[in-house]
Structure 1
């Protein structure tokens, strides 16, 4: 979680006032069912949630009555019930991915003092829809509407790694037909399969040498509840500032931001 998010949530907690402790405690059982993602026996569910079995059972009786959980008659295992499913579906339908992403980009830029770009999949390929500037003097040609090369930029490589293969091939073919002076950032190049596999494994992409000398970028994907990539977030900065702390600070901050945003969009992290 970013420093900005922590401060904001801390301020929210101070203004919330007194809550209902039993509801807060009982939510640990629901969180355990979400985290484990499979029906659970009472003793196992209680252990994960930090309850005594008898205490957990009392909560579960109430949750069954209102449909938060259900108990399988043959196995006795508990799982989330229809009311919990309805809540989840409503949350997904009313969640605005771009609004959440907008906040994430602002917070990440404030926490890292880097420029941060929000990139979506557009008609012409990876397209910038937001740039949060850090305030530092940096000569970069990224603006809303900028289209990135699929193979010559960090953002493009992220989409190349996580989009369906046919869609990637079609986009690369269109890019190769671009007329000179098309305005697309980055030079098309051959990308070996092992590079794509590495991006998938590590969860982020970069390009060396970068499209703009002296300016480096790292990009990571954001997934929705279906496991599909919906956008990419890219951190951009001058080499002398970004590179020395890339592995220790900036890449972990980027991955934390994109993973948190993915979870907020319903994506289930499996590792």
Structure 2
């Protein structure tokens, strides 16, 4: 996000030092920290003295390494208490839908399963019966499969067993498939970081769904792209998949989610996902 106006350079330099500590996720020696923040060690030391006085940073007496202090924790807790994941996502998807030109939905895990709480139309409108309150099946939709992949299994299992028992008689969008098929799709979703459907549950319509996590690593909601098969590319290297993951990872970061570096690297290697702009879509004839 670009913020207009003249700021205070020393505050911004101090922010780079704090950001480097957050990104590292471990105590750092002065020289390591200075390198990560791209400042001279002597300059970093002066900032760290002030930060220690404010208890934003503390220094281990034995090793000399620096780490975030108790006041940094208090700031984080205050942020979390005042932040609503759904409100954050609801505001963000308006711009995202305009950017990608597709329908974007927000779903939470409700009493009856994966439940749509917001539908945002894109410039390329999709004629599907999706509205607030619609429940998506676990096995038959990208949204349901992403919840199956990233929510605790004990939460999903009761709904899944009922869905498989009822089969075609389930109340919700998406025909039920088998547990074996779901297990394979869940494994793929965990590897890629998102779930997909091609030309189902509505013929000619694709879906890509990705999770949003909070500071504790708990999945809070799912963001789903919905579009015609000739428009929405569900491939792992597609611009649509890249854009969706960049969007959900940004939301997760704003909620305090900080995945382990090795897990994040593994996900990136499997999907080769990087933030990328979405090309302007050609309108269908």
Contact 2:145/2:182 (8 A) holds in 1: no
Provide the rounded CA distance (Å) in 2 between the counterparts of 1:198 and 1:116. 22
Tell me: higher relative CO, structure 1 or 2? Use CA pairs within 8 A at least 6 residues apart.
1
Provide the rounded CA distance (Å) in 2 between the counterparts of 1:244 and 1:168. 25
* Structure 1 unmatched runs, 5+: 1-8
* Structure 2 unmatched runs, 5+: 265-285
Deviations 1:72-95 (A, max 9, x none): 111111000111110001001111
TM-score of the two chains, using structure 2 as the length reference = 0.86
Deviations 1:43-102 (A, max 9, x none): 111111111111110000000001110001111110001111100010011111111101
Matching of residue 107 in structure 1 with residue 95 in structure 2: yes
The alignment partner of 2:119 has SS state of strand
Provide the rounded CA distance (Å) in 1 between the counterparts of 2:213 and 2:234. 29
TM-score of the two chains, using structure 1 as the length reference = 0.90
The equivalent residue for 1:28 is 16
Moved more, 137-146 or 166-175: 166-175
Which of 139, 144, 157 is equivalent to 1:151? 139
Moved more, 134-143 or 249-258: 134-143
Contact 2:185/2:195 (8 A) holds in 1: no
The alignment partner of 1:199 has SS state of helix
Question: What's the CA shift for 1:192?
Answer: 4.6
The equivalent residue for 2:79 is 91
Deviations 1:101-128 (A, max 9, x none): 0122112101010000001000000000
Moved more, 219-228 or 190-199: 190-199
Q: Pairwise CA RMSD of aligned residues?
A: 1.8
Moved more, 212-221 or 129-138: 129-138
Contact 1:263/1:269 (8 A) holds in 2: no
Deviations 1:9-49 (A, max 9, x none): 43xx22xx322111111111100110000011111111111
Deviations 1:163-196 (A, max 9, x none): 1122222111232455976640001111253321
Contact 1:64/1:70 (8 A) holds in 2: yes
Which of 218, 223, 227 is equivalent to 1:233? 223
Provide the rounded CA distance (Å) in 2 between the counterparts of 1:138 and 1:181. 26
The alignment partner of 2:189 has SS state of helix
Which of 51, 54, 79 is equivalent to 1:66? 54
Contact 1:108/1:253 (8 A) holds in 2: no
Which of 30, 37, 56 is equivalent to 1:49? 37
Aligned residues: 259
Matching of residue 250 in structure 1 with residue 240 in structure 2: yes
Which of 204, 215, 229 is equivalent to 2:194? 204
Provide the rounded CA distance (Å) in 1 between the counterparts of 2:204 and 2:80. 41
Provide the rounded CA distance (Å) in 1 between the counterparts of 2:182 and 2:232. 26
Deviations 1:210-232 (A, max 9, x none): 10001111000000111111100
Summarize the Cα distance change of 1:26–1:145 in structure 2 as closer, same or farther, 3 Å threshold. same
Which of 211, 215, 233 is equivalent to 1:221? 211
Provide the rounded CA distance (Å) in 2 between the counterparts of 1:246 and 1:161. 17
Provide the rounded CA distance (Å) in 2 between the counterparts of 1:206 and 1:246. 10
The equivalent residue for 1:3 is none
Contact 2:104/2:226 (8 A) holds in 1: yes
The alignment partner of 1:188 has SS state of coil
Summarize the Cα distance change of 1:244–1:198 in structure 2 as closer, same or farther, 3 Å threshold. closer
